[in-house]
Amino acid sequence: MRILEVNKFNHVRGGADKHFVDLANLLQENGNEVAVFAMDHPENIPSEWSKYFVSRVDYENGSALNKIKGALRIFWSFEARRKIGKLLDEFQPEIVHIHNIYHQISPSILSEIKKRGIPVVMTVHDWKMICPNYLLNCGGKLCEKCVGGKYWHCLKNKCVKKSYLKSLISMLEMYFHRFIRVYEKNIDLYIAPSQFVKDNLAKAGFSESRIKVLPHFAKAVDARRLLNMQSNNYALYLGRVSKEKGVDELIEIFKDLPIDLVLAGKRDSDFMIPDLPNIKHVGFKPSQEIESLIRNSQFVVSASQLPETFGLIALEAIANQKPFIGYRAGAYGEIVRNGVNGSLAESKGELKSRIEEFLVNKNRKYYFDISRFSPEKYHQSIIDIFRSLC
């Protein structure tokens, strides 16, 4: 098949981007023709299609003019619409599969695709379709106040970066795209990476008949590589280092434990890591180094209580033969089974007990079967989805 994969970044910054990059490779490895569309960025993976990428906007460190340009693009991008039109004319895909396009690309590309009669599939990686701040969370607690279109709650509670201005822009963005029904009119099918996502989308008013559950995939670690595992005395946290992700709670739990806590991920500018001997921040790491960190750890841990759409961290741990310990939040329960490939807790006290129990019983045997998340099964399933729409 000729497939156009679309994501705002053509390099790995988070779980959604990793899935996008891995999927493009998987499709090509199985004989499909794949083109990509993204935003121009110095860290991008080289691509023959980069001549069509939209110009870069930097919402964090860009100039005032660049930020104004970015703010306008949040609503609509004539540049993105024009450039994807040229790519479509050259590549002529049978189907377009979009991932995260908010802000850096915008949904302006969707009608340009549909006017050519090309089916559009969207994998839902976060809660942006129903929540202005992506997280379905406010102040560390599950929040569904905006679900159903009451986006003014975002402004009232400063849900985006604790800023009235950013929350106002996100609120207006949601109202505008809802008013013109840009997603409803142009997306043929939504892929939910978990049943948890499908249930929440359905609750928000999305048609269940247009949502297909397809969990992400991961490659099991090669048995020969397991021979080099060290199992050093540390637990590993992967992801953004922030209060939002529960890292402050993790640090509180680990500060008195006889094991190091390694934090691998970008630190939020307002999050301070205390100077403790067993807490080590190693920053953001590329995929290959992440796999090495996982394989050489005792276990992978998280204290995030956000309603995770999938839980790629847990799957990567299990794929590398390491148990995952965290909260029973979001879709984690669809991956982790207590006592089989990890442990899930309901409270901070229980989470600490689960970790202490692991340290006492380090030689306990776990069963790390990820056959239902195999790349082969995923490829067959997604190609079946694509063909059903074509």
Could you tell me if 381 and 243 lie in one domain?
no
pLDDT by position in tens, the chain (length 390): 999 999 999 999 888 999 999 999 999 999 999 999 999 999 999 999 999 999 998 887 767 777 777 888 999 999 999 999 999 999 999 999 999 999 999 999 999 999 999 999 999 999 999 999 999 988 777 899 999 899 999 999 999 988 999 999 999 999 999 999 999 999 999 999 999 999 999 999 999 999 999 999 998 876 555 555 666 899 999 999 999 899 999 999 999 999 999 999 999 888 999 999 999 999 999 888 998 999 999 999 999 999 999 999 999 999 999 999 999 999 999 999 999 999 999 999 999 999 999 999 878 889 999 999 999 999 999 999 999 999
Which CATH number does the domain housing residue 55 bear? 3.40.50.2000
What lies within 8 Å, CB to CB, of 379 at 6+ separation is: 26, 27, 30
Could you tell me if 44 and 118 lie in one domain?
yes
Decide if 325 contacts 301 (C-beta within 8 A). Answer: yes
Whole-structure pTM value? 0.92
Whether residue 247 lies inside any domain: the answer is yes
Backbone angles phi, psi at 234, to 5 degrees: -150, 150
Could you tell me if 105 and 210 lie in one domain?
yes
Q: How far apart are CA 323 and CA 321, in angstroms?
A: 7
From residue 290, how far is each of 12, 170, 308 by CA, in Å? 12, 33, 20
Could you tell me if 207 and 65 lie in one domain?
yes
Whether residue 154 lies inside any domain: the answer is no
Range of the domain at 15: 2-125+188-217+374-389
Structure tokens at 122: 């969207």
Whether residue 141 lies inside any domain: the answer is no
Could you tell me if 302 and 197 lie in one domain?
no
Q: Which residues of 255-274 are buried (b: 16+ CB within 10 A; e: fewer)?
A: eeeebbbbbbbebeeeeeee
Could you tell me if 33 and 72 lie in one domain?
yes
pLDDT at 224: 57
Could you tell me if 32 and 53 lie in one domain?
yes
pLDDT at 205: 92
Total structural domains within the chain: 2
Decide if 192 contacts 213 (C-beta within 8 A). Answer: yes
Whether residue 243 lies inside any domain: the answer is yes
